[in-house]
Structure 1
């Protein structure tokens, strides 16, 4: 019987720790395409949540006399769905539920979402700079080898 050759595949990406939860941002080409469309995809989820909440009439001006618990709950749910959709799109389904369970503060999670976007953008720029530098080193090495081969052929 022959021995199985086992080769592990390394995930592309980097960890991000939000509060007590450590997440993984996938930098595969496929996920980066999704990340670039996060706002569009989240807007679709927001539209769905708004349609569910349409049974309630939201007044143009809010005052304490016209405010009721159902209206506040519906508005909160729409916002929570929108924020949750963005986390789930960026990090994978179920992420928001996990974060909200550990940190039940929608305002804090909403503020953190913007910071997450900036941090991911900065990390992606750094990774691209590093990749470009490695590519340039490889290119230079290839050109040196090519030059040596050309020089050897001319000398002979």
Structure 2
């Protein structure tokens, strides 16, 4: 029953992606990222305000339902968060996918919790991590440089 609900959440994000499109304007970061193992691609667009909050975030991309749904979930989750909060969420999500560690406070990951079963499917880890890895690298390159 829960697995069915998770599938519905993933398919909803795939068919009706949140924050899809370009983000333009002064200070907008544009960061392309490609999954080397399967060829899924995305471009992350992000603005960070003077308080280190992610004031805007969008993505464009092509890939499987898991990678595109995960990008949608990620952008939904980090919008309005500080860079440090986003880095914490990246860590939680990556730990859930790679190690099967579901956060103590499950609500922290929101809809992205629906991807927890991917842990068992090693071949799909990079699909689910596409947007999250892109966000992590964008932060490291543009904020911590």
Query: When the two structures are superposed, what TM-score results if normalisation uses the length of structure 2?
Result: 0.30
Which has the larger helix fraction? 1
Greater strand share, structure number = 2
